[in-house]
């Protein structure tokens, strides 16, 4: 067994708890340090995990850190990633890769020039849910894919999040917040996207915090909060996307894939597992057993996948994929603003499929 990748986390807010739980049970990675703008919070997490609490500048240059896990807010993703890359570190970040495509491009190009690896969430697509659906598509169970739908609706995160401001600032909104799960799943299932059309709206100018010490406080809305669009994949398949912080509920499947020989219900791409259902032409709905993906996965499996990927190969949750997903989403917002079709400038390789297996070990 090789040495585990030594992980330093920058940003130990709410999402870090899920990563910490996963890292603790993986042999391929090991936590060695944490940093946060809130030094007291970093110190508390460090004491709980038995690791060092460092300043951000110290962590990104520390010789005992192999990979900087960037769990900061979207507006800080590029700054932290570029500082880590400049220090010669591999970087793995929370989604989106950056708040803008210019910042994301800088990260990818800097990583390539420095010869370090850039990875990015979501890694939920590596679980048995999306991977079983992908295998069904690849095995021809739906025939030739023609279309897909992806639907995410919620009244808004301010109802439960005590500090929801960043969801309503540039880099946030339903598309950039939740869209990475759905668009990454669609690219995993159907391949990269070549063009988009769409519309968007912003029904409310403020949101009211619903919980915590700031309950009742209003936060301004500076992004579109209902976005719908059509993605044309390079394969010719069309995906219809609905992302909303303005609607109450839906009975629509999170993702469906339709081909000329069958239709597929794909589980929530925000989760790693879930039931995949297939309706064959002339048949009836049937559940497909898990046949691909990492079993019992959790946030951080993208790191373990990176650790298990040879240096001359590309990890599945990689920077080029994350950049393309961000490019698709920002192109959709541009299309909605201009009222016209927009070509997606970037492309990417469809990530390698994940055979059915337990967590990668090294």
**pLDDT by residue (tens digit) across 167-219?**
999 878 999 999 999 999 999 999 999 999 999 999 999 999 999 999 999 99
Rg of the chain over Cα atoms, rounded to whole angstroms, equals 20
* Of 245, 268, 300, nearest in space to 31 by CA: 300
Q: Which residues contact 321 (CB under 8 A, 6 or more apart)?
A: 120, 184, 187, 348, 349, 351
Q: What share of the chain is helix, strand, coil (3-state, %, to 5)?
A: 35, 25, 40
- How do strand 238-244 and strand 193-201 relate by DSSP bridges? unpaired
Phi, psi of 67, deg, nearest 5: -130, 130
Q: How many Å apart are CA 272 and CA 281, to the nearest integer?
A: 28
DSSP per-residue string spanning 233-268: ETTS-EEEEEEESS-----S-SEEEEESSEEEEE--
Instruction: Tell me the mean pLDDT in the region 275-302.
Output: 97
Domains located in the chain, CATH noted? 5-120 (3.40.50.720), 124-293+324-343 (3.30.360.10)
Residue-level pLDDT at 311? 81
The pLDDT tens digits for 132-174 are 999 999 999 999 999 999 999 999 999 999 999 989 998 789 9
* pTM (2 d.p.): 0.95
Phi-psi region of 327 (alpha: psi -120 to 50; beta: other; left: phi over 0): alpha
Q: What separation, in Å, do the N-terminal and C-terminal C-alpha atoms of the chain show? A: 5
Confidence band, pLDDT 50/70/90 cuts, at residue 360: low
Tell whether the model's pLDDT for residue 5 goes beyond 80.
yes
Tell whether the model's pLDDT for residue 102 goes beyond 60.
yes
Q: What is the mean pLDDT of the chain?
A: 95
Instruction: Tell me the mean pLDDT in the region 262-267.
Output: 98
Bridge partners (DSSP) listed for residue 312: none
Tell whether the model's pLDDT for residue 1 goes beyond 60.
no
């Amino acid at each position: 067994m090789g040495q585990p990748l030594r992980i330093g986390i920058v940003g130990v807010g709410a999402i870090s708890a899920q990563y910490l739980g996963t890292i603790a049970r993986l042999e391929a990675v090991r936590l060695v340090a944490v940093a946060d703008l809130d030094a007291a919070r970093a110190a508390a997490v460090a004491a709980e995990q038995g690791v060092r609490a460092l300043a951000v500048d110290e962590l990104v240059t520390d010789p005992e850190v192999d990979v900087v896990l960037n769990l900061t807010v979207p507006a800080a993703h590029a700054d932290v990633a570029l500082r880590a890359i400049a220090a010669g570190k591999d970087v793995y970040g929370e989604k989106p890769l950056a708040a803008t495509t210019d910042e994301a491009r800088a990260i990818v190009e800097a990583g390539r020039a420095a010869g370090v690896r850039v990875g990015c969430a979501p890694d939920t697509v590596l679980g048995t849910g999306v991977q079983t659906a992908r295998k069904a598509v690849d095995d021809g169970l739906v025939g030739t894919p023609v279309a897909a739908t992806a639907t995410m609706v919620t009244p808004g995160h301010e109802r439960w999040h005590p500090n929801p401001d960043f969801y309503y600032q540039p880099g946030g909104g339903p598309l950039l917040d939740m869209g990475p799960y759905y668009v990454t799943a669609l690219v995993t299932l159907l391949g990269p996207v070549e063009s988009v059309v769409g519309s968007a709206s912003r029904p409310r100018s403020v949101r009211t915090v619903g919980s915590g010490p700031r309950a009742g406080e209003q936060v301004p809305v500076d992004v579109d909060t209902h976005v719908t669009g059509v993605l044309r994949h390079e394969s010719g398949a069309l995906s219809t996307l609905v992302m909303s912080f303005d609607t109450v509920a839906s009975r629509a499947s999170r993702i469906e894939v339709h081909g000329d020989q069958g239709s597929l219900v794909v589980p929530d791409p925000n989760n790693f597992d879930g039931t995949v259902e297939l309706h064959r032409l002339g048949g009836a709905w049937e559940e497909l057993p898990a046949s691909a993906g990492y079993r019992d996965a959790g946030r951080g499996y993208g790191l373990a996948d990176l650790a298990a990927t040879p240096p001359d190969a590309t990890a599945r949750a990689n920077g080029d994929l994350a950049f393309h997903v961000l490019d698709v989403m920002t192109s959709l917002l541009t299309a909605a603003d201009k009222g016209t079709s927009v070509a997606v400038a970037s492309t990417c390789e469809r990530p390698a499929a994940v055979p059915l297996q337990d967590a990668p070990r090294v």
